[in-house]
Structure 1
């Protein structure tokens, strides 16, 4: 399962709005998406699960993808997190 590590840059962390942006993008792929923080895993296609990670600014996230379009999903989601998930950093 391909994975990538990325640092969350959002000043307010992974609250509702950026979590929704992540989940919406993840749901655009058929691959299963797992988001991990400090060993805690969440379904990357579930807003409640993603918000439940409690990720704050500066947190390292691991994004894993498995399935037909996993490589493209991973590239897209990493770029989205690095760009601030729609928020100014």
Structure 2
């Protein structure tokens, strides 16, 4: 059972393309917990892998679920949700 999870909407006009996917994976890598991102189609990928995050093909408006299991799961989910909801700093 996951320690923490949150569902968020992708706000970026171009969706989860290379730059946001890289930012997400890099931020996820900073946590000890195992991070999984579930795409709109139900597929689950390793949140610490840029290539796997890109494979989700999440477009603007798509909802993804962030799940973390481990000692810093709550902090990880909150940080990743903020990153996504903030549009990865893109306009």
Shift of 1:86: 2.3
Q: Determine if contact 1:21/1:86 at 8 Å carries over to the other structure.
A: no
State the partner residue of 2:37: 35
Query: CA-atom RMSD, angstroms?
Result: 0.6
Matches of 2:5 and 2:72, distance apart in 1: 13
Unaligned 5+ segments in structure 2 are none
Q: Determine if contact 1:8/1:81 at 8 Å carries over to the other structure.
A: yes
Matches of 1:86 and 1:34, distance apart in 2: 22
Q: Which runs of 4+ in 1 moved over 3 A?
A: none
Q: 2:67 aligns with which of 55, 58, 64?
A: 64
**Matched residues, number:** 88
State the partner residue of 1:3: 5
SS in 1 for 2:8: strand
Matches of 1:30 and 1:50, distance apart in 2: 18
Matches of 2:50 and 2:66, distance apart in 1: 15
Unaligned 5+ segments in structure 1 are none
